[in-house]
Amino acid sequence: MAAASTSTKVFYGLYNDEEDLKDAVRSAKAQHLEIMDVYTPFPVHGLDPIVGLQESRLHYLGFIYGATGALFGFLSMSWIFTRDWPTMFGGKPFWAVPSFIPITFEMTVLFAAWGMTLTFYTICGLWPGVKAKVLDNRITDDKFCVAFDVTGSSESDLDKLQGFFKSTHASEVSTKTI
Amino acid sequence: MSHVVSPLRHVLIEGDKSYHNITEDLCSPTEKAPTREWYIAFLLSTAFFGLYIFTIVWTVWKGIGVWGANRTINWAWDITNFVWWIGIGHAGTLISAILLLFRQRWRTGVNRAAEAMTIFAVVCAGQFPIFHMGRVWLAFFIFPFPNTRGPLWANFNSPLLWDVFAISTYFSVSLLFWYTGLVPDLATVRDRATGFRKKMYEYASFGWTGSAKHWQRWESLSLILAGLSTPLVLSVHTIVSFDFATSVIPGWHTTIFPPYFVAGAIFSGFAMVLTLMLITRKVLKLEEYITLNHIESMNKVIVLTGTIVGVAYLTELFIAWYSGYIYEQFAFYNRVFGVYWWSYFGMMFCNVVSPQLFWSRKIRRSIWWTFFLSIVVNIGMWFERFVIIATTLARDYLPSSWSYYSPTWVEIGIFTGTMGLFFFLYLIFTRVAPVVAVAEVKSILKVAGSQYIGPNAKHGHGHDHHDSKSVPTHRTEEEA
């Protein structure tokens, strides 16, 4: 997925329903076929374990970003009001911890949200100007797609995949170079 | 199909839709030429947007002396309107974040438009404090950055600065949440488009393909952003209420303000969502996606939050009386029977009395009643902010400085102008993006759509080869 410049020959089948898709993926796993990717028009629940995807670790990063934001917010305010330019406001202590809480909280949320979102787009390779490798226009509409990388595959491999799609009731089968 | 839903639940998507029908229904408004009603609405809102620009230029050119605000009542329409808009801007995040955490599936029908509304309302809200600064070209002073003025830093102990952080964080996080949700739907529009439109949506959809891993991360991100936005949305109006509550003005200096402001914000936000959605569903023919059940759910939230707000109003009065402190008592006597008595009674009627009509199921499910009452609530919530701000300041410490405030044409122009700005942005949004979250609606089709609950539940989405082998067992159990 990461190599954008090289082209990949993809053999894919389209299904009409997410249950058909799940059955197909199960069957592919049983036959030890190496699935390149599965494309769906919406998040299909229960698909991830069948495809063999591990749980996303994005939320760990979210925690790290949030902690960074909290520390950054709190420590900058502390440094500014105790070291850089201590200012007296209404006789309160310079290091007025309770009144730093709101901004510390906002910085936590700000860093976590931006950090996670930017990470999400980066690791998914999604950015403005990225050309989508669309196999079929209906995948974002109502088709569920299982795709195999067949770059350099032999005729017999293709026949095997053809048979797989037939046995799993794929509504359409096609090849495309992306 | 991992969820088991009681067949007694209301259907959230009517009309036996297939996935393709959903795409067709929700994307087609962006593909057709605008209707005449859209043009009329757009021209009207552009005219008011023009008025906004004119009155703002006038304000900046002449100085804020052209407003009716004076030395006694130095926060007036501007801050009233600011708090009103910010309150409206709370429903979007509430619907998308809190209802996501509570797994309320009816949110999918309205979340996209409500989030857009949030963003546009915050844009409108931001105008008021920025231009109230007077010398707006120095507005960047509010941001703490190393500078040559000392370095003179902003005051981190001030609730006004907390507000700067809260609102800018809220705006940017809402924008991320909204746009990330929109990316897959923009890809759907892209794959239906041709020519220049396709290029435009290709750019806007960031190269989305619908890969399983992307969806997994997308859901993980949405859930965490929802988890972050939930305390965020509560913090924003809490901090707005601190602008008042941490000051030493009788009538403002109360601990009840944070929860009372938050409930009020949800209340007014839902009212505005209803006003907008009732028009949108009619004009864009989305009645099967934003059903009477959605409207009824929102009306229930309105009656709940309206009642919370009512309890808060009465608690304020009770505590003032119970304190036995004459100055506090005067502040609240003045609030009810003072120079602005009409706004207090307007507020009480619109916010506390009128929503009680929603106890009746008939009224909750009536489009016209809902539309009418949603506007009444919006007016009432505007009165509430006016009551808190102008009434309190008009009778401050020194009777010699007591004053009265009425808005000038400039302030009226700015306020109606921000409504123009709001609808200007909203109308453009209805043209360029699906107003209902396409992918999310598809994901609930089989668990909360008519196909699951209705007679079609017996068949696996109309695919015959499906019937015999892969009908999930829970269906048959329920039918038995």
Nearest-Cα residue of chain B relative to residue A127: B206
What distance in Å separates residue B17's CA from the closest CA in chain A? 12
Asked if A20 and B23 come within 8 Å (Cβ–Cβ), the reply is no
Q: Could you tell me the CA-to-CA distances from A69 to A62, A76, A105, A119, B456 in Å, in that order?
A: 11, 10, 8, 15, 50
Terminus-to-terminus CA distance in chain A, angstroms?
10
Question: Rounded to the nearest 10 degrees, what angle do helices B159-192 and A97-124 cross at?
Answer: 10
- CA nearest A166: which of A142, A136, A146, A151? A146
CB B210 within 8 A of CB A135: no
pLDDT of residue B99: 82
Please tell me the distance from the alpha carbon of residue B201 to that of residue B190, in angstroms, as a whole number.
Answer: 5
pLDDT of residue B40: 92
Asked if B153 and A129 come within 8 Å (Cβ–Cβ), the reply is no
Q: Which chain A residues touch B156 with a CB distance below 8 Å? A: 77, 80-81, 99-100, 103
Q: Which domains does chain A have, with CATH numbers?
A: 9-54+131-177 (3.30.70), 58-124 (no CATH)
Amino acid (one-letter) located at B332: F
CB B184 within 8 A of CB B439: yes
pLDDT of residue B450: 60
Nearest-Cα residue of chain A relative to residue B169: A110
Please tell me the distance from the alpha carbon of residue B413 to that of residue B62, in angstroms, as a whole number.
Answer: 15
pLDDT of residue A132: 83
Mean pLDDT value of segment B56-75:
91
Please tell me the distance from the alpha carbon of residue B106 to that of residue B272, in angstroms, as a whole number.
Answer: 17
Asked if B209 and A89 come within 8 Å (Cβ–Cβ), the reply is no
Asked if A133 and B217 come within 8 Å (Cβ–Cβ), the reply is no
Q: Is the pLDDT of residue B308 over 70?
A: yes
Mean pLDDT value of segment B207-229:
90
Tokens read off for B165: 């952080």
∠B227-B231-B235 over CA atoms, to 5°? 155
Nearest-Cα residue of chain A relative to residue B150: A85
Nearest-Cα residue of chain A relative to residue B246: A99
How many other C-beta atoms can be found within 10 angstroms of the C-beta atom of residue B420?
21
Domain count, chain B: 1
Please tell me the distance from the alpha carbon of residue B5 to that of residue B457, in angstroms, as a whole number.
Answer: 12
pLDDT of residue B100: 81
Half-sphere exposure at residue B463, Cβ-oriented, CA atoms within 13 angstroms: 19
CB A100 within 8 A of CB A143: no
Percent of chain B beyond pLDDT 90?
51
Handedness of CA B436, B438, B440, B446 (dihedral sign): positive
Nearest-Cα residue of chain A relative to residue B151: A85
DSSP one-letter string for B339-357: TTHHHHHHHIIIIIIGGGG
| Low-confidence winner among B240-254, B423-437, B456-470 (lowest mean pLDDT) | B456-470
Asked if B187 and A48 come within 8 Å (Cβ–Cβ), the reply is no
What distance in Å separates residue A117's CA from the closest CA in chain B? 7
Tokens read off for B406: 């009425």
Please tell me the distance from the alpha carbon of residue B17 to that of residue B19, in angstroms, as a whole number.
Answer: 7
∠B85-B160-B128 over CA atoms, to 5°? 35
Look up the ipTM and state it. Answer: 0.92
CB B402 within 8 A of CB B396: yes
Mean pLDDT value of segment B369-397:
92
What distance in Å separates residue A46's CA from the closest CA in chain B? 7
pLDDT of residue A101: 94
Mean pLDDT value of segment B429-455:
76
CB B347 within 8 A of CB B310: no
Mean pLDDT value of segment B164-187:
93
Nearest to B460 among A17, A113, A126 (CB): A17
Asked if B214 and A106 come within 8 Å (Cβ–Cβ), the reply is no
The residue with tokens 């089968």 is A173
Q: Is the pLDDT of residue B460 over 50?
A: no
pLDDT of residue B455: 43
∠A150-A151-A154 over CA atoms, to 5°? 65
What is the pLDDT of chain A when averaged over all its residues? 88
Q: Which residues, including other chains, have CB under 8 Å from residue A69's CB and lie 6 or more apart?
A: A107, A108, A109, A110, A111, A112, A115
Asked if B212 and A169 come within 8 Å (Cβ–Cβ), the reply is no
Q: What are phi and psi of B453, to 5 degrees?
A: -85, -30
Mean pLDDT value of segment B326-334:
90
CB B256 within 8 A of CB B310: no
Torsion of CA B155, B159, B165, B166, to 10 degrees: 170
In a domain, B32, yes or no: yes
In a domain, B469, yes or no: no
Question: Hey, is the C-beta of A18 within 8 angstroms of any chain B C-beta?
Answer: yes
Q: Which long-range contacts (CB under 8 A, 24 or more apart) does A73-82 make?
A: A73/A100, A73/A103, A73/A104, A73/A106, A73/A107, A73/A108, A74/A100, A74/A104, A74/A107, A76/B144, A77/A103, A77/A104, A77/B156, A80/B144, A80/B153, A80/B156, A81/B153, A81/B156
Mean pLDDT value of segment A3-16:
78
pLDDT of residue B472: 42
CB A41 within 8 A of CB A143: yes
Q: Which chain A residues touch B463 with a CB distance below 8 Å? A: 16-17, 20
Q: Is the pLDDT of residue A115 over 70?
A: yes
CB B225 within 8 A of CB B237: no
pLDDT of residue B106: 82
In a domain, B263, yes or no: yes
Question: Hey, is the C-beta of A89 within 8 angstroms of any chain B C-beta?
Answer: yes
Nearest to B210 among A103, A112, A139 (CB): A139
Q: Is B107 exposed, middle or buried (0-12, 13-18, 19+ CB in 10 A)?
A: buried
∠B179-B229-B264 over CA atoms, to 5°? 110
Please tell me the distance from the alpha carbon of residue A58 to that of residue B1, in angstroms, as a whole number.
Answer: 25
Q: Could you tell me the CA-to-CA distances from A8 to A133, A151, B42, B211 in Å, in that order?
A: 10, 6, 47, 16
Chain A 146-165, CB below 8 Å of chain B: which residues?
Answer: none
Asked if A116 and B191 come within 8 Å (Cβ–Cβ), the reply is no
Percent of chain B beyond pLDDT 70?
91
Nearest-Cα residue of chain A relative to residue B238: A102
Nearest to B224 among A59, A131, A140 (CB): A59
The residue range of the domain holding B227 is: 19-135+155-299+410-448
In a domain, B426, yes or no: yes
CB B295 within 8 A of CB B370: yes
Handedness of CA A16, A17, A18, A23 (dihedral sign): negative
Nearest-Cα residue of chain B relative to residue A136: B191
In a domain, B160, yes or no: yes
Helices (H), B348-408: 361-364, 367-386, 392-394
Q: Could you tell me the CA-to-CA distances from B383 to A112, A145, B77, B342, B386 in Å, in that order?
A: 37, 55, 11, 9, 5
In a domain, B231, yes or no: yes
Q: Is B135 exposed, middle or buried (0-12, 13-18, 19+ CB in 10 A)?
A: exposed
∠B351-B353-B355 over CA atoms, to 5°? 65
Q: Is the pLDDT of residue B156 over 60?
A: yes
Q: Which residues, including other chains, have CB under 8 Å from residue B60's CB and lie 6 or more apart?
A: B131, B136
Mean pLDDT value of segment A50-59:
86
What distance in Å separates residue B368's CA from the closest CA in chain A? 34
Q: Is the pLDDT of residue B478 over 60?
A: no
Please tell me the distance from the alpha carbon of residue A107 to that of residue A78, in angstroms, as a whole number.
Answer: 14
Three-state DSSP at A12 gives: strand
Mean pLDDT value of segment A107-118:
95
Mean pLDDT value of segment B259-265:
90
CB B466 within 8 A of CB B28: no
Nearest to A106 among B18, B165, B205 (CB): B165
pLDDT digits (tens, 9 = 90+) for A62-88: 999 999 999 999 999 999 999 888 888
Helices (H), A93-151: 97-124
Please tell me the distance from the alpha carbon of residue B157 to that of residue B426, in angstroms, as a whole number.
Answer: 36
pLDDT of residue B457: 47
In a domain, B454, yes or no: no
Q: What are phi and psi of A19, to 5 degrees?
A: -70, -40
Question: Hey, is the C-beta of A39 within 8 angstroms of any chain B C-beta?
Answer: yes
